[in-house]
Amino acid sequence: MNKEYMVRATAANGQIRAFALTGREMVETARVAHNTAPVVTAALGRSLVAAAMMGSMMKGDEDLLTIHIQGTGPMGGLNVTADSKGHVKGYPFQAQVDIPANAQGKLDVGGAIGEGNLVVIKDLGLKDPYVGQTVLQTGEIAEDLTYYFATSEQVPSSVGLGVLVDTDCTVRQAGGFIIQLMPDVTDEVIDQLEASISKVKSVTEMLEEGHTPEDILKELLGKMQLEILDTLPVKFQCDCTEEKVLSAIASIDRKDLQSIIDDGEPIEVRCQFCNKNYKFEVEKLKEIMKG
């Protein structure tokens, strides 16, 4: 069984829906691809974990969800994209950020991102994508998404995200949960859930204790008729190909393309999402020019 997966569940007879995920390798792949400093690894990792779960809320095979964060901090922000099948990709605006720990002695994700906006874009194959924008609350991402769900989607939610970076800067743990209240939820269920959330340890503590996504949901919803619906493998995966990069080059202005050819040097194009480098010889560019 794949150790990197999310579970989807309901509780309280459908009054609650819940997601939990473990994805150390998923975040480690992103860290290696972008060579991120620890605080950036945490910010990017939390966003990837959340995006994977939010992506799985969409129905269509072609649906895409993007989380775009823009902030005034040294990291500038990030972009992550998820499909509905557990695949995510993403990049930080600045990979190397070095700032002191916060008052709790933790990686200062909020400080690295700063003040700004969070935008969620859902491309559901319709003419116009759904776009929801909110102001960053703390820049710590889980709180910002909780606020986003409440204000933009009108779905009261509890979001927990955790990335633990090891002393050698590799990812030691990564995971999270999203718990959402459905419109018919009773006050009794809300009280029970709030009591339970106030008692649980942090996501990284639970992961360090060896908790699976099922265990995390049991901690939160175990006394509330928790029902696991399914599991879905998760992975950092980019869909870029040489063909797609070539067609992007083909769409640039003819004059610009000619001047690149005139330079006589091969060109290198880097995929933003996975940092993969594509190199094209002048001959190839001439072929594109001919169409």
Q: Are 40 and 73 in contact (CB under 8 A)?
A: no
| Residue 112 is a binding residue for Zn ion (CB under 5 A) | no
Nearest CA among 36, 6, 2 for reference residue 174: 6
Pick from 19, 236, 273, 280 the residue near Zn ion by CB under 5 A: 273
Crossing angle between the packed helical segments 254-263 and 282-290, to the nearest 10 degrees: 150
Cβ–Cβ contacts within 10 Å for residue 1, how many?
6
Span near Zn ion by CB under 5 A; candidates 55-63, 211-219, 236-244, 256-264: 236-244
- Of the candidate residues 174, 207, 249, 271, the single one contacting Zn ion (CB under 5 A): 271
CB of residue 283 to Zn ion, shortest distance in Å? 24
Helices 38-55 and 24-34, packing angle to 10 deg: 130
Kindly calculate the radius of gyration of the chain based on its CA atoms and give it in whole angstroms.
Answer: 21
Phi (first) and psi of residue 127, to 5 degrees:
-60, -50
Q: Does 50 bind Zn ion (CB under 5 A)?
A: no
Part of the chain binding Zn ion (CB under 5 A), chosen from 21-29, 100-108, 187-195, 269-277: 269-277
Rule CB under 5 A: say whether 274 interacts with Zn ion.
Answer: yes
Nearest distance in Å: CB 195, Zn ion: 44
Task: Tell whether residue 88 is a contact of Zn ion (CB under 5 A).
Answer: no
Strand partners, 181: 16
Task: State how far the Cα of 229 lies from the Cα of 128, in Å rounded to an integer.
Answer: 31
CA distance linking residue 4 with residue 86, whole number of Å: 10
Nearest approach, Cβ of 90 to Zn ion (angstroms)? 11
Would you say 141 or 240 has its CB closer to Zn ion? 240
Closest to Zn ion by CB, 238 vs 249, is: 238
Beta carbon nearer to Zn ion, 13 or 277? 277
Q: Which of 156, 139, 64 is nearest to 102 (CA)?
A: 139
Instruction: Pick from 6, 145, 217, 238 the residue near Zn ion by CB under 5 A.
Output: 238
CB of 240 to Zn ion, least distance (A): 3
CB of 129 to Zn ion, least distance (A): 21
Q: How many of the chain's residues bind Zn ion (CB under 5 A)?
A: 6
- Could you say which DSSP state residue 288 is in? H
Distance of CA 110 to the CA centre of its chain: 16
Q: Per the structure block, which two tokens stand in for 225?
A: 């008729």
* Residue selected from 240, 249, 257, 285 as contacting Zn ion according to rule CB under 5 A: 240
What residues line the site for Zn ion (CB under 5 A)? 238, 240, 271, 273-274, 276
